[in-house]
Amino acid sequence: MYDPKPEHKFSFGLWTVGNIGRDPFGEPTRTQKSPVEIVHMLAEVGAWGVNFHDNDLVPINATASERDQIVRDFKQALDDTGLVVPMATTNLFSDPVFRDGAFTSNDARVRAYALQKTMNAIDLGVELGATTYVFWGGREGTETDAGKDPLAAGKWFREALNFLTGYVKDQQYDLRFALEPKPNEPRGDIYLPTVGAALAFIETLDDSEMVGVNPEVAHEHMAGLNFTHHVAQAMDAGKLFHIDLNDQAFGRYDQDFRFGSVNLKSAFFLVKLLEDNGYDNPRHFDAHAYRSSDYEDVKAFARGNMRTYLILKEKAQQFNADAEIQALLAEITQTDGTVDGFGGGFSAEKAAALQAHSFDRTAIAQRGQPYERLDQLVVELLLGVR
């Protein structure tokens, strides 16, 4: 019942289950697996899709013939397992050349190189089937605002995205872009730090209809924000092209924990929002196993992400079918009909009628709002006693 199926569109990046457990304080704790081995591992745990950065698949110094061999082997692994590539992206953060950003570097040569690298990576992604292309501006930011003009940086970022949507149209690729905001790490401050900032920026682009967002649980939580509200805003704007699911304790370092492993209740409201509103784009787990895990435990980690999602999906259905919960919701939102005529947009008549209407403020303020009862029912539902 909680087994992953292709229709759930569960995907993992090569860098997620392939994470070798290196951190700023310590060396790797797991041996590096090849992309082909990772594809087989993902197939074994029941995933549907695999995503990659250009250099997760093809090392930055690979020759053309090495690239071709790697791509052939990878395609064979996809054929053998039935996995698909829904999303691809560019590594614009590991190489020292990007130490001060890629599209927002102060060095025009770096900005041009970032465009070239991204066009090549788009070609690679499209060749392998990707229809979503993610832009995570990991190095697009500063530690000090003394050295970079934030208005210039925004202008460069916009120019880059306009150039690249131009490239996609010119190549007639079936590809949409998804911007992935993050407030910090690895930069002191990253530009476009939240989903809301990205949504506003997108509206300033030449081909804004081709560009949406890829929100990540951990990123909004790092900023102390309510992720579900941001996802709702992206959905409302028709911009939820992709989602990165993981977990993160508020106020901590960038943790990338297994989905639902820290904030179970917020994970529930997120899954409920996605499922109630027919979200049908990839569900990508951008997380990695604990540094202490071996590869058997990495598989448990991968399965756990998907299983928790599906359990929460069932809990959301239970919430919707729970008579007591639904009765409370109905009670909370029920109207007495006295203001029905004022809804649905402005008219001069309505405005006049509303100005003439008298409200019994004291009576209205005395109405019950049983959110405590409702929330306790949710807690009990999640704890499995309902």
288 assigned to active site: no
Residue nearest to ligand GCO (CB): 136
- Which residue among 125, 244, 272, 302 contacts ligand GCO (CB under 6 A)? 244
Question: Does 182 engage in binding with ligand GCO (CB under 6 A)?
Answer: yes
Question: Does 136 engage in binding with ligand GCO (CB under 6 A)?
Answer: yes
- Which residue among 54, 56, 140, 216 contacts ligand GCO (CB under 6 A)? 216
CB 88 to Mn ion: min, Å: 13
Backbone region of residue 177 per phi and psi (left: phi > 0; alpha: psi in -120 to 50; beta: other values) = beta
Q: Where are the beta strands (DSSP E) in the chain?
A: 10-13, 49-53, 87-89, 132-136, 141-142, 176-180, 189-190, 211-213, 243-245, 283-285
Binding mask 248-287 for Mn ion (x = CB under 5 A): --------------------------------------x-
Distant-in-sequence, close-in-space partners of 291: CB < 8 Å, separation ≥ 6:
21, 23, 26, 29
Catalytic residue among 3, 23, 53, 276: 53
Question: Does 100 engage in binding with ligand GCO (CB under 6 A)?
Answer: no
Catalytic residue among 56, 100, 247, 256: 56
- Report which residue type is found at 210: M
- Which residue among 11, 19, 55, 89 contacts ligand GCO (CB under 6 A)? 89
Give yes or no for a cis peptide into 183 (omega within 30° of 0): no
53 assigned to active site: yes
Distant-in-sequence, close-in-space partners of 231: CB < 8 Å, separation ≥ 6:
195, 215, 240, 243, 270, 273, 274
Q: From CA 202, how far away is CA 198, in angstroms rounded?
A: 6
**3-class DSSP state for residue 352?**
helix
| Residue 317: how many other CB atoms lie within 10 Å | 13
Residue 10 near which of ligand GCO, Mn ion, none (CB within 5-8 Å, type-dependent): none
Q: Give the residue numbers annotated as catalytic, written as ranges.
A: 53, 56
Binding site for Mn ion (CB under 5 A): 216, 244, 286
Q: Which residues bind ligand GCO (CB under 6 A)?
A: 89, 134, 136, 138, 180, 182, 216, 244, 254, 286
